[in-house]
Structures are given as C-alpha cells and as structure tokens.
Amino acid sequence: MAALKPFHNTYRCTGSAGDEPPDLVLLHGWGLHSIVWDDVMPALLHHFRVTVIDLPGMGQSPLPNQDYTLDFLVDQVREVMPAHCHLVGWSLGGLVAIRLAQRFPQQILSLVTVACSPCFVVRDDWLAAMRAEILQKFAELYEEDNEGTLIRFLALNAKGSDTQQQDVAKLRDILYFCGLPAPRALREGLVILRDADLRDALAELKQPVLMLFGEHDHIVPAAALEAVRDLAPHVEVALMQGVSHVPQVSAPDIFARALQDFWQERVPAIKGCAQ
C-alpha cells in the first residue's frame, strides 16, 4: 500500500522569471491550511513557482498512523517539496521550516519564518514567550469543546490587529473551507508547540534567514525579536506594525513587500524582487 502523502499544489510563476523560476514552499500553522496564503499568492507568483502544502491532518492532507512529532512533519513535507527551494513557514509551520533548514541545508536556499519563535513557551533562559500553562489550558479546553476552542484560538491569532474583526471573519472562513482538522493532529500539534526548542538549530543555520514578528502578537510576543537577535545575530529580524499573529492576512501587501525586500537584499539570485 502506498504511503500517505500530504496534499500539495504547485502554481506556475506569472512573472518574467523564465521557464525555470525559483521554487518557493509555503507552510501554514496550527489548525489551518494552505488557503491562509491566498491573499499574498499573486505577489509571490510574480517571482516564484509556489508550492503550498497542508500539514498532515489539516486542510486536505490525510493523517498517517505515525507518531505526530516535529520530525514526522518535516519528513512528510520533504516528501512533496522541490529538490531546492526557498521556504516560508508561519507559526507551527515556522518550526517545521527551521527544522527542515537544519536537517537539509542543501535543499533549503533561504528561510522566512512568520510569527514564529524557535521556542514558543517560556523557559528559565527564554522569557519572551507564551507561558506554558496558557498552552496547556488550551489543550484542556480543547478536550471539552473541540470546535469552540479552535475558534477561540483563531480569535487569539487576530487579537490586537488593526483589522481584528475582518481577520477573525477571514480565519473562520478559511477554517471551515476544508472541514475541521483531525483532532489528533491538533492535540499533538499543541504538544509540538509546547515542547519544541529549536534555539540551537536556529543559531547554526547558514542560509539567509528572516524572522517576521507582529507588533500586537498575543502568541509570539514582539519581545521575541530581541531575544532572537541576541541568540542568532546573523538572522535578520523585522517587526510588522499594526498586525498580530497573521500578518499575511492582516496586511498582505506590506507582508509581501517585507519578503521581497529580504530576498532582494539577501538572495540576489532571485530576479526582479525590487519590482
């Protein structure tokens, strides 16, 4: 029997990059799926051939009967990725992206994480993060009310954004577009967010790296920017004003510009990003 692979879709470049444009892969976060990138897709397709991937058990991806660990997600995603690509990961997808870049440095040409910390919860030596008990409370509430807790978590994604009401409505539409995620993927995805500590992995990356943070993010606090700067001075960091945990939804034009500025400066092989 063939192994189950994640749902993925590749869209052709619409710009002037030629017959063989660079490849870009987009990885979404906990509870959602690849439609979360739709608003920024036109800008990205101007420069790249873009592949979107739904993490196992979310969106249209099946859930194999394997331990749902960070390395399992990495292996699943890598099965359907191009041989060489640039990578953007949002939230949980950012953790997957960092681990991919660490394990397969020859495959990942550059990395952008969005609203992602290498360590999502507070440690004794990592204070700019969510308290572990908040994430644990979400896990407990999820067992009592799966759908309601998922909706509340999506609202937390948008809390504090200048476009909060519109963001929440859009996230709800995205959530229901493909049906609710598999409960095991959500439960064990929260465990990954709670337990993953990729600070050492981030510090050792050699690829060009940009980490984008939201000014009003209630999941990854903006203070994580300075913590990352101290941890890995070679990593470029930027703060997006007026947005929370979903800048690609709140401010897609500004978000796309931030990515393009990074690629133009740090990855000159990508043509036309100044346009």
Q: Which tokens hold the place of 132?
A: 């572990």
Minimal CA–CA distance to 85: which of 103, 111, 53, 61? 111
Read off the pLDDT band of 37 (50, 70, 90). very high
- Cα–Cα distance between 213 and 112 in angstroms, integer? 11
Residue 115, phi-psi category: left (phi > 0), alpha (psi -120 to 50), beta (remainder): left
Note the pLDDT of residue 272: 57
- Cα–Cα distance between 25 and 30 in angstroms, integer? 17
Note the pLDDT of residue 2: 60
Q: Which has the minimum average pLDDT: 11-25, 59-73, 172-186?
A: 11-25
Angle at 211 between CA 206 and CA 216, to 5 degrees: 165
pLDDT over 70, % of the chain: 97
Read off the pLDDT band of 1 (50, 70, 90). very low
Cβ–Cβ under 8 Å, residues 271 and 141: no
User: 3-class SS at 31?
Assistant: coil
- Cα–Cα distance between 80 and 75 in angstroms, integer? 9
For residue 221, give the amino acid letter.
P
Note the pLDDT of residue 273: 60
Q: What is the pLDDT of residues 185-233, one digit of tens each?
A: 999 999 999 999 999 999 999 999 999 999 999 999 999 999 999 999 9
Structure-model confidence comparison of residues 1 and 195, the more confident one: 195
Side-chain-facing half-sphere of 104: CA atoms under 13 Å = 20
SS3 assignment for 119-132: CCECECCECCCECH
Q: Which residues of 209-228 are buried (b: 16+ CB within 10 A; e: fewer)?
A: bbbbbbbbbbbbbbebbebb
Please determine, for residue 19, whether its predicted confidence score (pLDDT) is greater than 90.
no
The predicted model gives 4-31 an average pLDDT of 93
Q: What is the pLDDT of residues 135-187, one digit of tens each?
A: 888 889 899 999 999 999 999 999 999 999 999 999 999 999 999 999 999 99
- Cα–Cα distance between 119 and 25 in angstroms, integer? 22
Cβ–Cβ under 8 Å, residues 238 and 212: yes
Cβ–Cβ under 8 Å, residues 24 and 74: no
The predicted model gives 110-124 an average pLDDT of 97
User: Known catalytic residues?
Assistant: 91, 217, 245
Cβ–Cβ under 8 Å, residues 273 and 264: yes
* DSSP 8-state secondary structure symbol assigned to residue 254: H
- Whose tokens are 């945990």? That residue is 245
Note the pLDDT of residue 159: 95
State how far Cα 66 lies from the chain centre: 22
Minimal CA–CA distance to 246: which of 209, 223, 215, 224? 215
Please determine, for residue 269, whether its predicted confidence score (pLDDT) is greater than 80.
no
Distances (CA, A) of 202 to 89, 151, 173, 236: 14, 31, 33, 12
Note the pLDDT of residue 271: 55
Please determine, for residue 275, whether its predicted confidence score (pLDDT) is greater than 50.
no
What are the structural domains, with CATH classification, of the chain? Answer: 8-266 (3.40.50.1820)
Instruction: Look over the chain and give the mean of its residue pLDDT values, rounded to a whole number.
Output: 94
